[in-house]
Amino acid sequence: MKAAIVTIGDEILIGQIIDTNSSYIAKALDKIGIATYEMFSISDEKDHILQTLHYFQNKVDLVIVTGGLGPTKDDITKKTFCEYFNDNLVEDAVVLAHVTALIEGFYKRPITQINKEQALVPSRAEILFNKIGTAPGMWMEKEKTVYISLPGVPYEMQYLVNNEVIPRLVQKFKRPYIIHKTVMTYGRGESLLAEQIETWEDNLPKNIKLAYLPAPGRVRLRLTARGEEEEVLKTALEAQIKALYQLIGEVIVGIGEEEVIEVVVGNLLKEKKATLALAESCTGGKIAEMITSVPGASSYFKGSVVSYATESKINVLGVDKTLINDFSVVSEQVAKNMALQAQQLFKTDYAIATTGNAGPEKGDSEANVGTVYIALATPETVYCEEFNFGQPRVKVVDRAVNKAFEILYKEILKN
């Protein structure tokens, strides 16, 4: 099966809001074996909507449209659906009763004519009842294509997808299984990984596809298997991942989108009953942000000092001013001292420190733009690595963050 997802709204096209609905719907469809063929964002114009509906007619099995179902004049999806399906709007008594109860009972105000018009729906539409909002969803069919219209408000759309759309699709269509496995790797570039696993990739079964999803400092390898027998697909994927471990096991930190390195490192720290502190300069608190995004991080993460300016390194963190004067604020010596000061301040087993020139200008140091020093204090020692992550600035910061996690991960594994 193939699906198309269409979001309606000028606010998306001018960048006023970000389209998160398409991503949510695509993930939900993927879980039940429906592949998303295309995603469109279009304007609140009748002709544009009609052209889009016609474009997908019989080209895909399913079209899901979000947006344009509100009570104001610029919301024209229902009327446009009527024109496309040669239908007319009628008042749905169940929807009207729900809207009335919501407005008068929950919001404690009289219902208006505009509110009542939310109960107008195409006469031939199957209504997808929206218990948490006033705009119902609509299911309509034309020849070989199912069209579903949903409200654009994210939490209402999500409710309808989970409680109305997905159950109906599962019941109506026979679908193949689609299973994804994501292998999380850190510390090796996309091109080098591709070279190392080329023979393995060339010999993948025809029903298993590989995609490279690179980011600064890490590459996700997504394996996708499609077929009619779920257990057969799972077994095949497990065999391929086992073979992948034999080739690049040293850079694999986990399997699955949830096995990001901050989660893996956190689990290792909890397992070893070890603690961590940070002293961040050029990374500006991003390492701490990632660590604290993991539930339960307080059991191993004790705190961080974002000593961004030189004076805060001296006055807050307690870095030796002589080291800064002798070696520069961006140096191995200062990075090591930052790590040791954080370790002592928070009384932890491990402490990471970052200092560098992220650019675009050099700042308080003459070190080349892109230069970053990452130090790690352990229970036994402290050491530092120097990197040049190039430009632009955001790339330097992202790569420094991921490299810091990689260094810590490898150190914990040693013990």
Whole-number Å distance between alpha carbons of 266 and 275? 9
Of 91-95, 367-371, 384-388, the poorest mean pLDDT is in 367-371
Residues 6+ apart with CB under 8 A from 36: 2, 3, 4, 5, 25, 26, 29, 30
Please say if the pLDDT value at position 133 is more than 80.
yes
Higher pLDDT, 109 or 29: 29
pLDDT in tens, 211-269: 999 988 889 999 999 998 999 999 999 999 999 999 999 999 999 878 889 999 999 99
**Whether CATH 3.30.70.2860 fits 177-255:** yes
The domain spans of the chain are 2-172, 177-255, 261-414
Question: What is the model's pLDDT at position 364?
Answer: 65
DSSP bridge partners of 6: 40, 65
268 and 413 in contact (C-beta within 8 Å)?
yes
Same fold, 177-255 and 261-414: no
Residues 6+ apart with CB under 8 A from 51: none
Average pLDDT of the chain to the nearest whole number: 93
121 and 90 in contact (C-beta within 8 Å)?
yes
Closest residue by Cα to residue 195 from 254, 252, 247, 245: 247
Question: What is the model's pLDDT at position 222?
Answer: 95
pLDDT in tens, 2-58: 999 999 988 899 999 899 999 999 999 998 999 999 999 999 899 999 999 999 999
**DSSP characters over 108-161:** -SPPPHHHHGGGEEETTPEEE--TTSS--EEEEEETTEEEEEE-SSHHHHHHHI
Question: What is the model's pLDDT at position 245?
Answer: 95
Calculate what percentage of the chain has a pLDDT beyond 70: 99
Residue 185 CB coordination number (10 Å):
23
Please say if the pLDDT value at position 162 is more than 90.
yes
Closest residue by Cα to residue 235 from 179, 287, 279: 179
Token pair of 221, please? 């390898």
pLDDT in tens, 298-352: 999 999 999 999 999 999 999 999 999 999 999 999 999 999 999 999 999 999 9
Q: What is the dihedral of CA 177, 60, 120, 115, to 10 degrees?
A: 70
Largest CA distance in the chain: 81
Question: What is the model's pLDDT at position 114?
Answer: 85
Residue with structure tokens 């040791």?
340
Question: What is the model's pLDDT at position 383?
Answer: 97
Please say if the pLDDT value at position 74 is more than 80.
no
Reported pTM: 0.71
From residue 33, alpha-carbon distances to 179, 226, 230, 358 in Å are 8, 8, 11, 44
Residue 391 — very low, low, confident or very high, per pLDDT cuts 50/70/90? confident
Please say if the pLDDT value at position 362 is more than 70.
no
Whole-number Å distance between alpha carbons of 208 and 180? 9
Residue with structure tokens 């298997």?
225
> Among the CATH numbers 3.30.380.10, 3.40.50.1370, 3.90.950.20, 3.40.50.2300, which is that of 261-414?
3.90.950.20
Fold of 2-172: Molybdenum Cofactor Biosythetic Enzyme; Chain A (3.40.980)
Question: What is the model's pLDDT at position 75?
Answer: 75
**DSSP characters over 208-276:** EEEEEEEETTEEEEEEEEEES-HHHHHHHHHHHHHHHHHHHGGGEEEESTT--HHHHHHHHHHHTT--E
Calculate what percentage of the chain has a pLDDT beyond 90: 80
Residue 345 CB coordination number (10 Å):
17
380, amino acid identity: E
Whole-number Å distance between alpha carbons of 341 and 344? 5
The DSSP output letter for 66 is E
